[in-house]
Amino acid sequence: MAGPFRRRPTLEDLNRGTANTAVSMLGIVITEQGEDYLRGTMPVDERTKQPYGLLHGGSSALLAETLASLAGNLCVEDPARQQAVGLELNANHLRAVTSGTVTGTARALHVGRSTQVWDVRIEDEQGRLVCVSRLTMAMKNM
C-alpha cells in the first residue's frame, strides 16, 4: 500500500497533541513517521506495569490504540469534518516485559471511506514481539 497519510505533521506537533492525556501520563512518545507507518515508544515502569511487575496488557493496548488512532486520523482528508474513532481493539500478549522500553509500529491494513483497519506490533528492546493488535476504526462525521 502506498503511503496512506494525507497530512504529515512534525513529530513535535504529534507529541504536543498528546499533552495532558493518558498518552503523556504513561510516557508514550511518537518517535517516527514513515511513508506507511507511525512508531512510538513507551517505558516499562511503575506507570505501565501491573501488580506482578510485568508490562500491563492494558498499557500495551493503550499504546496500540494511540498509534493506530493518530495514524488513522492522519489519513482523514478534512479533520474539521471527519474523525477516525476506535470501534474494536484486539490485542494478543505474547511475551512478558519487566523493564526497559517497548516500541510499537502501526501500519494500515485498510483505509476506506467508512472504516479503517490498523495492525500494531509492539516489540521489546531486543526486537522480540511482545504484543500484536488490530484496531478497527469508524469514520465519524463531525
Ordered by where they begin, the domains of the chain are: 11-141 (3.10.129.10)
Cell of 107: 501500519
The pLDDT tens digits for 49-98 are 999 999 999 999 999 999 999 999 999 989 999 999 999 999 999 999 99
Show Cβ contacts of residue 30 under 8 Å, excluding neighbours closer than 6 positions.
11, 14, 15, 18, 38, 39, 40, 67, 70
Amino acid type, 122: I
* pLDDT reading at 2 higher than 80: no
Which whole number is the average pLDDT over 30-56? 97
Catalytic residues: 65
* pLDDT reading at 3 higher than 50: yes
